[in-house]
Chains A and B, each alone.
Chain A
Amino acid sequence: MYPSGKVFAIVPLGDIVPYLSTVNAIILATLVAVLLLPILSKTDVYVEVDHKRPKIEAKIVAPREDRIKAALALVSTLAAVGVVTTGDVFNFTLFLSLLGMSNMGLIGTTVEDDFALECAFNYGLMCLIASLPLFGGAALILAATGTLSLHELMKLPRGAGGWTITYAKILLTTGVLGEAGVGPFYAVKVDSFRRIWGRYAFVIHLTTLLTFSRYLEILSALP
């Protein structure tokens, strides 16, 4: 029934029923495990080389910790956890929007210059534009099948929704790509991976990719 393997935990939280299947659990475990790496490691350090005679002095410059970036990274991760565990298509889109927003903040803050803000602004616009196909896709699924719960959608026979579902899938994919998929590209554009806060920008890449792997499961659950 479930394309994602055996379901071994269901949280009956009202209408929205988060669940953990094999795929979900693996994605969640990977997310948490890989996220621990940047949290527990030091910030990047610079080596400033001073060419003095008669000897060369190398001085290590480490930046101060910044709580705003850590908080944004945390919000991004929490949104990714929501995306991974949710059992509802609309909830998925909402968490994805949150993820896009916090990633936008990360892009704008990891590199402290005007170009980064410009790029973050463009990414924010991209997120807002992508919310049309994202919510629109969810709405089309609701209209075609009468439900948004993944547990119910999985029970429907394949081809139940007809072409509306195909159209909804194309819209949803566009939305996911626009909301989360372009994040790493903007981060590369502002060069935030190579800066001193690179390990927070690393979170953008992590959450984006794992969100996408969760989206595959949702895509295969649709009729």
Chain B
Amino acid sequence: MHLVPATVPQLTVKLYHVAVAAGIAVGLIAAVDILADRNPLNRLAMTDAIEIGALTLLASVGTDLAECLILPGLVVGLAELMATAEVLIARHSDWRTLPRFDPLDMEILRTAPKAIMIGLVLYGVLLTGFTGGAVAGTGAAFYIFSRVNRPRYEEWRGMESISGLGWALWVLGFSLFFLYPKEWLLALLLAGTGGILVKVGPKLSLFGYVMGYDVRAGSGHVPER
């Protein structure tokens, strides 16, 4: 059967066999390593390498359908890896022997993050869209995680209210488009800022929930995890 269209160069077609061989070789090498070293953590890591071999086999087909298949394959592989890792943790974890870390107290942790955050958020707002959200979100997250004292309850609530502010800005920008179409740049910036804030704000407050700050319990209460 002639499945490959003539526009595809012959070199690419030949590379298919190389890619399949590479994928299977990755799997075999990882399997040999699993056999050689019986440490459970090593085995887990190496099975992930085998997963990459499977993705290589999928990617080697090189059509848009194959591209669509890689994402679910990756997700399922990751889910399996996480489930297996969870089993491993349940098997080997002993909370009493886990090391504890004291927070570092350094001058630079108090001054630099603010500047970096402001820079990243402003740049993200200017970029707009998916990338902008990612950049702005990274800046905000960097600021939060590098603080010596994690934000308190009121601050998390404040971050949640950012999204409300962003929503208002977005509506303002949207209506500017219709009322004064000549001011389109201002409208775009307002709407972009608002959109990104709407996206980033709830995620930040979600961090708060995930890190164990019980919002319902009132200010400052940090339950033991």
- Show the binding face of A for B, using Cβ within 8 Å: 90, 94, 97-98, 100-101, 104-105, 108, 114, 117-118, 120-121, 124-125, 127-129, 131-132, 134-136, 138-140, 142-146, 148, 160-161
Contacts and interface: CB of A to CB of B under 8 A. Distances in A.
B1 A160 contact: yes
B76 A136 contact: no
A148 B65 CA distance: 9
A205 to B, nearest CB: 20
A135 B87 contact: no
Contacts of B76: 94, 97-98, 131
A12 B65 CA distance: 18
Interface in B30-74: 31, 34, 40, 43-44, 47-48, 50-51, 53-55, 57-58, 60-61, 63, 65-66, 69, 72-73
B15 interface: no
Q: Is the interface of A mostly helix, strand, loop or mixed?
A: helix
B50 A128 contact: yes
A126 B48 CA distance: 11
A146 B3 contact: yes
Contacts of B88: 121
Given A118-B91, A121-B84, A132 B79 contact: no
Nearest to A96: B76
A101 B76 CA distance: 9
Contacts of B80: 97, 100-101, 124, 127-128, 131
